[in-house]
A and B are shown apart, each in its own frame.
Chain A
Amino acid sequence: MTVYAYFVAAAIMLIGILGIATSKNLVHAVVCLSVAQSSTYVLLIAVGFQYGGVAPIFGSGVDQKTPVVDPVVQALTLTDIVVSAAVTSMLLALVIQMAKRRRAINPDDLGPLEG
């Protein structure tokens, strides 16, 4: 258990890269990229976890001495998710442009600088 979470993150990253490289459809490749990026959420949140820690929302029952899970990595993950959505939407817009201009969304059908 001590390293399982980290290995799950690594495995998701490798699966995502495999998906991008073997993809036959650019929409599929973009989704695989977002899966690869989701591995960073798992890694960050796993690094910040603490057994017995509660969510970092203070108030009734949770004060400064209560062990909480790391809010810093959670803030980073929040940023990560928003950036991932921005990247995905931008890439999908490019895929639509590609489909309009080249009429092909299979990376194998595109030239070296287009795919």
Chain B
Amino acid sequence: MTRRLRLILLGVGLAVLGTLLVVALPQLPRFGGDAHPYRDLAVVATFQHATANAVSSINFDQRGFDTFGEETILFCAVVGVAALLRPVHRERRREVASGGRVLESTSLLVYVLFPVTLVLGADVVAHGAITPGGGFQGGVVLSTGIHLLYVGGRYRLLQRLRPLAWFEQGEALGVVLFGALGLAAAAFGAALFANVVPQGTLSDFVSAGTVPLFNMAVGLTVGSSIVVLLASFLDQTLAIRADQGGAGPSDGVREGAA
């Protein structure tokens, strides 16, 4: 298909889609209106389970099975990335020189921020049921915190602090824990992913029943996933290079065969 034909097709498609959206969107419920039937049902259920953060309650309690599916998507994507980016034959791993030129102020900032970010991440996971946050956000903050060391020019230290095999196990363990919590609810005679633990009072640290447990399982999975993900990309960028012998003449043969 020529570029010109593609642009014409694009123009037609965008015009049709745009027209449909312009016709459809004004018929949505008015922006900022007070009719939210799902909200009303969700809030009642949230109060029944003494969960302060309604979003956490929906994610980990009212539609826990969906979130399990979402976690599986993330898990599979990370496994896929790790498989796609592993060193193939005709590639070698070179030693990455640590250091380079990093401003002292940057290093200092990283040393100050590194522990703060880890504590913040753990806090966001632990209080996911009562304040904004939860396993997803906390897990991402934790893994981002670990990678601050890369910004500080400490790639070797990062490698030592980040035993990758552990994080691979942690990722799997998180998914298994999440599923096991769901199954445990079924084993207690309630529905799959039901909230069977006594829920306590709203806004207490120990409240909301299984929601904090799910938060920790998700925090483990997401934190480990993002670490494995970033490790795959960092490895490709810094350490893995094509073998000099293979990149030259044999290339034409391979491309011919492909």
Known: A74-B55, A79-B66. A14 touches B17 (CB 8 A): yes
Instruction: Say whether chain B's binding surface is mostly helix, strand, loop, or mixed.
Output: helix
> Which of B74-82, B149-157, B169-177, B190-198 lies at the binding interface?
B74-82
User: B10, B28, B39, B59: which has the most chain A beta carbons within 10 Å?
Assistant: B39
Known: A3-B26, A68-B43. A58 touches B54 (CB 8 A): yes
Q: Could you tell me the distance between the alpha carbons of A100 and B91 in the complex, rounded to whole angstroms?
A: 11
Establish whether residues B84 and A96, one from each chain, have CB atoms under 8 Å apart when the complex forms: yes
Nearest B-chain residue to A86, judged by Cβ: B77
Contacts of B22 in A (CB 8 A): 7, 10
Least CB separation from B242: chain A residue: A100
Q: What is the minimal beta-carbon distance from B118 to any residue of chain A, in angstroms?
A: 21
Question: What residue of chain A has the Cβ atom nearest to residue B51's Cβ?
Answer: A58
Chain A: residues with Cβ within 8 Å of the partner, total of 54
Chain B residues near A102 (CB-CB < 8 A): 255
Q: Is the CB of A75 within 8 A of B55?
A: yes
Query: Within the assembled complex, what's the spacing in Å between the Cα atoms of A18 and B6?
Result: 11
Judged by a CB distance under 8 angstroms, whether A55 is at the interface is: yes
Picked from B85, B132, B236, the residue with its CB within 8 Å of the CB of A57 is B132
Contact count band on B:
35 or more
Instruction: Say if the beta carbon of A110 comes within 8 Å of chain B.
Output: no
Quick check: B202 and A58 within 8 Å, CB to CB? yes
A93 touches B80 (CB 8 A): yes
Cα distance, A22 to B10, chains bound together (Å): 9
Is residue B36 contacting chain A, with contact meaning CB distance below 8 A?
A: yes
Point out the residues of chain A lying under 8 angstroms from B55, CB to CB: 56, 71, 74-75, 78
Residues of A within 8 A of B (CB): 1-7, 10, 13-14, 17-18, 21-22, 46-51, 55-60, 64, 67-72, 74-75, 78-79, 82-83, 85-87, 89-90, 92-94, 96-97, 100-102, 108, 112
B contact residues vs A (CB 8 Å cutoff): 1, 3, 6-7, 10, 13-14, 17-18, 21-22, 25-26, 28-34, 36, 38-39, 42-44, 46-47, 52-55, 57-59, 63, 66-67, 70, 73-74, 77-78, 80-81, 84-85, 130-132, 136, 202-203, 222, 229, 232-233, 236, 242, 255, 258
CB-CB nearest 4 A-B residue pairs? A86-B77, A71-B54, A56-B54, A75-B58
